[in-house]
Structure 1
Amino acid sequence: MTVSGKKQSTGFEVPGVNAEENGHNALMPQKGISAGDGNSNLGITEVPSKPALSSQTVQALEEQNAAPTPVKKSGKAKQQIDVKAELEKRQGGKHLLNLVVIGHVDAGKSTLMGHLLYLLGNVNKRTMHKYEQESKKAGKASFAYAWVLDETGEERERGVTMDVGMTKFETKTKVITLMDAPGHKDFIPNMITGAAQADVAILVVDASRGEFEAGFETGGQTREHGLLVRSLGVTQLAVAVNKMDQVNWKQERFLEIVVKLGQFLKQAGFKESDVAYIPTSGLGGENLVTRSLSSELTKWYEGKCLLEQIDSFKPPQRSVDKPFRLCVSDVFKDQGSGFCVTGKIEAGYVQVGDRLLAMPPNETCSVKGIALHSEPVDWAAAGDHVSLTLTGMDIIKIKVGCIFCCPKEPIKVCTRFRARLLIFNIEIPITKGFPVLLHYQTVSEPATIRRLLSVLHKNTGEVTKKKPKCLAKGQNAIIELQTQRPIALELYKDFKELGRFMLRYSGSTIAAGVVTEIKE
């Protein structure tokens, strides 16, 4: 996306945060998704039935059944789980937070977070030593910490993150699911997938002279990433001003970056009170998990370290009470019968034994197992990134982007829908028949702008022009989109998480939108 360096409002401040406060139909209100924590096991075990049992086995089973154990659970009992109460117990009462790390290529995102994980003890010394030796041998000694998150051979060879790396760590009050998003322009679709699943974000910028400017000016990913996460509902942001050791921890340089970024982020729709700036050194490990002792920094900075800032993020309200929804981010064959899907639960909860409906294929299946951070659990709720083992359905019918839902309250499927759109900085006007790539959760689908219905006033949301011939940058509009294949989505007013989408054209993000009406 090309974004000019001028102080130009994108229109986010009104349709974004402020319009909601004014009671208008906001395009980008605050993220309203919802709750789930860590690993709990309700102890469900199954006793296989056999044609004939020995007397010893019968006696053992009788003794086992005499004890109060949830071996056999009726469908009714399964539905009586108090999810909110169970969520309170999980992880010792710690809140779950989905965190995405974004920023321009080479800003040091993977190194920063890899070093933070090492300092927290999530990577042992032996493994770290191995990475150091291997990276030296490959002539990339400074990449050792990045290899904690960049695990594939190609990522290590090229020295760039290509896919979203996912891992887990804990702070004093939170359990963090960390998503390390790629910064390179070629992998923005992957970055959108990561950002769509996030509650909060860390924007990493390179403090080095010339490097910050390259990432921030036209063509750099700092601006595009900032706009994308805000459009996808992230309202809380920590800006890690990285590589501060390369500018000798100069306060002047830090403040220069804060002023430039602050103006842009405010235009993008972030409240100043929801953005924090932390000077860091990913390679040196300073100001990551403990406050820096460097005299160069402490003489002017008395704020939080990065870990303290992550811990102070406010957890979002999660849609546990809504019908179950999970968007598939990966599909793979299981070792036993059935297959596995991974993804984030956007709403509701799921238990082992539940029947689920997959849309658009419109096929039902059973949940044989649930894994949360590779640990088997008996249930999971909104906010959890899970792996479900499913039976009763052919794996061929499931693709990335399919949505699993409650069979009694299924998600809608369509090829046509209406949406409210905010146009970013685009080179050419958008007209009827304009081809776009629709990015929605983990879906990437070719689409066409079928109709331009109206242009809206930025402040009030009132119609200022009906049936416009074209749409230009910065405009708010109602349009109708046609996708090539059926997709499952929700109205924004019903499910905020499943009602947001992005439009891209020719390698740039050109608009953000919310679904207002679904056509049959």
Structure 2
Amino acid sequence: MARHRNIRNRSYSDDYDYEDVYGHSVEDDVCLSPSEAAQFLYDRSRNQHAISQFLKSDDILEESEHDDDVDNTRPNFERRESMDLRGLNLSEDDETKLMSCLDELRNVLGDTLSDSILVHEVLKHKFDYSKALDGILNNNKQENANFKPEKPKVVIDSAPIPILEKAPIISTISVDKPILIASKPEAVKGFKINDDTSPNSRPQTPRDQSPAVERISSRNDNFDELRFTSKVKENKVDPHTKFSNERGSDKEYLYIVVIGHVDAGKSTLMGHLLCELGEVSKRTLHKYEQESKKIGKQSFMYAWVLDETGEERVRGITMDIGRAQFETKTKKVIILDAPGHADFIPNMITGAGQADVALLVVDATRGEFESGFDLGGQTREHALLVRSLGVNQLAVAVNKLDTTNWSQERFNEIVKKLKVFLKQAGFKDSDVTFVPCSGLTGENLVKPPSEPELLEWYKGPNLLEVIDKFNVPERPVSKPLRMSINDVFKGTGSGFCVAGRIENGILNKGDKILVCPSKETAEVRNLAINELSTNIAFAGDQVSVTLSGVEMQNVSVGYVLSDPVNIVPVTSHFEARLVVFNVKVPITKGYPVLLHHQSLVESAHISKLKALLNKSTGELLKKKPRCLGNNSVAVVDIKVCRPICIERYKDVKELGRVMLRVSGVTIAAGLVTDIYVD
């Protein structure tokens, strides 16, 4: 230490000269003698066993964690980043299916197995997650049953040398054979060895090898078996059982769309119904009454319950889908109040596509019913549209019958005309119910009729009872997920929200899904039904879904949230069986149309006329017709300007229906019979 400067006791001043330090070499102050430096020099002549004196067990253990033999202990995300799928020659869809299956297997197995084993099993079973999981579990169980650890011996010069064994490094996440590291005389990892080779010598381990292997292995096997069994059972729960467990004790959801000609009194009728059921407070209703008086529209006070925007209230018409909810004795009913004006038919189609049943409201006033029912009126068009969109249960509310003094003759006249038309549209007589009522006075809505003129001839149910008797359609919860998007908006928290109807399957919070047709992967961050947060939603539910992992500008109305394994078909060319309504110009090859599919509106054209069919029997009348006229049935090919998500009708009914409109008029409706690969 005498050679070092005494820095600690030095007294510094402003006049201290640092020039003697500048350029000074460290070797002038610190120097090693040849004997001290020799320990850092490598000499081949020295005994190689001496190198182990500089190694510690912790250092070797850290190296072994990065060794190729125990690469299974590396975190899953490190292996996933290094995994290369290019050598498998998979398509983009197959890669998506593979990654989805791997994520599902990781949720069950954790990091127990390498990616190569999982990929092999998934490809072997053709992306069937359940079969791949069963194969992996069966293989592990068979390997554990056949495993018998043996101690190898190393013989040098015919003299047996006891093998020095390291305590096995067995991770709780491993189900493979325990890793036994046998030491060699030249290089021993993990322990400082003795030169004593006597028979009584033993390795410096905490306890003997064999009992430890048996004890730890059996414990891990039992733990893994229990963990696998519980998770497999959880993932193999029958969808119908899950649905009954979640919704068995609750009332069933029923979505009803309210349709009819403009000014038929749809919003007033449903608004008064909600007030009678106590869904609207008296204070709110009084507020609507005072505000409607100021603008001279007091009769619209009940309509304002559903018509919430200022423009709707000023114009006195419904422009967008109004939503409300009420309960009957057996059901939770969600009202979808559709606009009746011809300019807002696309919005009406969106609402009808989300509905289970329909309520057709007609105006019983003389002249008003005829104007809505004759050609060009929305009564006919709405009834045809809801039937073409799969609604087969219909209630007809003969509204404003008080203007005719509850005339039975007028009621029967309307019923007679509508029955013939609705039967032609495809409704069965048993599925259609007619109810006389008044939306303004509230007669025969919730309570039994009280008007003497009505009581003389009507003994049937009120409107609420008719709605309660509707049958809820069976929910296809066991099919792959399909959810059509009808709205995209910014949520209150992180991410953005999409709203729509789940057509098929089950959607859980935290699920990985595909946004099609762009096929971008996203994660479900949150679920809400009727603005109430939930962890699971089923087919038939109207939900709001908060998504992450995808940009908001990459999602549009008309997109479909799809199961990542069973992906929804995406195409711009398909075959459809059309029913042509009243057209002014016959449909020919190349005829341009607007295609309505759920909430999607897309430009398209008729690319080929394949066959003309009999309207009643479906028999082939003519191949390759030159044109299609009124009330004809035909098979055609349709090309869309860009790819869309669509299904064959026999696979998914809700996504297998299309509407064709031209110049604001619906000219045809059809079912998708075949999809062509682009």
Question: Aligning the two structures, in what range does the TM-score lie when normalised by the shorter sequence?
Answer: 0.7 to 0.9
Asked if 1:165 corresponds to 2:294, the answer is no
Letter in 1 for 2:556: K
Letter in 2 for 1:180: D
Change in 2 beyond 3 A, CA 1:369/1:268: same
3-state DSSP of counterpart to 2:527: strand
Tell me the equivalent position of 1:4. Answer: none
Give the one of 312, 317, 324 matched to 2:469.
Answer: 312
Written as runs of structure 1 = structure 2, the 5 A alignment for 1:141-180 is: 141-180=298-337
Give the one of 422, 433, 443 matched to 1:286.
Answer: 443
Asked if 1:114 corresponds to 2:114, the answer is no
Q: How far 1:464 moved relative to its partner?
A: 1.6
Deviation readout 1:22-65 (Å, 9 max, x if unpaired): xxxxxxxxxxxxxxxxxxxxxxxxxxxxxxxxxxxxxxxxxxxx
Q: Say whether the 8 Å CA contact 2:239–2:478 is kept in structure 1.
A: no
Tell me the equivalent position of 1:453. Answer: 610
Q: How far 1:433 moved relative to its partner?
A: 0.7
Give the one of 372, 391, 403 matched to 1:234.
Answer: 391
3-state DSSP of counterpart to 2:650: coil
Asked if 1:272 corresponds to 2:436, the answer is no
Q: How far 1:92 moved relative to its partner?
A: 3.3
Q: Say whether the 8 Å CA contact 1:367–1:390 is kept in structure 2.
A: yes
Change in 2 beyond 3 A, CA 1:84/1:150: farther
Letter in 2 for 1:176: V
In the alignment, structure 2 segments of 5+ residues that lack a partner are 1-229
Tell me the equivalent position of 1:339. Answer: 496
Written as runs of structure 1 = structure 2, the 5 A alignment for 1:87-102 is: 87=244, 89-90=246-247, 92-102=249-259
Q: Say whether the 8 Å CA contact 1:147–1:156 is kept in structure 2.
A: yes
Q: How far 1:80 moved relative to its partner?
A: 3.7
Distance in 2 of aligned mates of 1:146 and 1:330: 24
More relative contact order, 1 or 2 (CA 8 Å, 6+ apart): 1
Distance in 1 of aligned mates of 2:642 and 2:243: 39
- CA-atom RMSD, angstroms? 1.5
Q: How far 1:175 moved relative to its partner?
A: 1.1
Asked if 1:187 corresponds to 2:344, the answer is yes
Distance in 1 of aligned mates of 2:481 and 2:559: 13
Q: Say whether the 8 Å CA contact 1:102–1:201 is kept in structure 2.
A: yes
Q: Say whether the 8 Å CA contact 1:83–1:381 is kept in structure 2.
A: no
Deviation readout 1:388-441 (Å, 9 max, x if unpaired): 011111000000000001101010011111101111111110001101000110
Letter in 2 for 1:351: N
Distance in 1 of aligned mates of 2:522 and 2:239: 24
Change in 2 beyond 3 A, CA 1:106/1:91: farther
Asked if 1:222 corresponds to 2:365, the answer is no
Tell me the equivalent position of 2:525. Answer: 368
Q: Say whether the 8 Å CA contact 1:452–1:467 is kept in structure 2.
A: yes
Tell me the equivalent position of 1:353. Answer: 510
Deviation readout 1:299-325 (Å, 9 max, x if unpaired): 110001000000001111111110011
Deviation readout 1:126-178 (Å, 9 max, x if unpaired): 11111111111122111011011111111111000011112221111111121
Distance in 2 of aligned mates of 1:137 and 1:83: 54
Tell me the equivalent position of 1:134. Answer: 291
Give the one of 431, 436, 447 matched to 2:593.
Answer: 436
3-state DSSP of counterpart to 1:389: strand
Asked if 1:471 corresponds to 2:594, the answer is no
Q: Say whether the 8 Å CA contact 2:243–2:538 is kept in structure 1.
A: no
3-state DSSP of counterpart to 2:654: helix
Distance in 1 of aligned mates of 2:231 and 2:551: 27
Deviation readout 1:197-231 (Å, 9 max, x if unpaired): 11110000000111111111122110111111111
Q: Say whether the 8 Å CA contact 1:78–1:351 is kept in structure 2.
A: no
Distance in 2 of aligned mates of 1:214 and 1:376: 45
Q: TM-score, length-normalised on structure 1? A: 0.84
Tell me the equivalent position of 2:94. Answer: none
Change in 2 beyond 3 A, CA 1:370/1:232: same
Q: Say whether the 8 Å CA contact 1:338–1:391 is kept in structure 2.
A: yes
Q: How far 1:84 moved relative to its partner?
A: 3.9
3-state DSSP of counterpart to 1:208: coil
Letter in 1 for 2:255: N
Distance in 1 of aligned mates of 2:483 and 2:333: 19
Q: How far 1:75 moved relative to its partner?
A: 9.5
3-state DSSP of counterpart to 2:261: coil
Q: Say whether the 8 Å CA contact 2:569–2:646 is kept in structure 1.
A: yes
Distance in 1 of aligned mates of 2:574 and 2:431: 33
Q: TM-score, length-normalised on structure 2? A: 0.65
3-state DSSP of counterpart to 2:412: helix
Q: Which structure's residues are more often helix, by fraction?
A: 2
Give the one of 489, 493, 507 matched to 2:650.
Answer: 493
Q: How far 1:76 moved relative to its partner?
A: 7.7
Q: Say whether the 8 Å CA contact 1:429–1:472 is kept in structure 2.
A: yes
Q: Name which of structure 1's ranges 323-332 and 161-170 shifts more when overlaid on structure 2.
A: 161-170
Identity %: 58
Distance in 1 of aligned mates of 2:269 and 2:232: 47
Distance in 1 of aligned mates of 2:241 and 2:627: 48
Q: Which structure's residues are more often strand, by fraction?
A: 1
Tell me the equivalent position of 2:567. Answer: 410
Give the one of 404, 411, 415 matched to 1:258.
Answer: 415
3-state DSSP of counterpart to 1:337: coil
Tell me the equivalent position of 1:40. Answer: none
Q: Say whether the 8 Å CA contact 2:495–2:546 is kept in structure 1.
A: yes
Tell me the equivalent position of 1:29. Answer: none
Q: Say whether the 8 Å CA contact 1:356–1:365 is kept in structure 2.
A: yes
Q: Say whether the 8 Å CA contact 2:576–2:636 is kept in structure 1.
A: yes
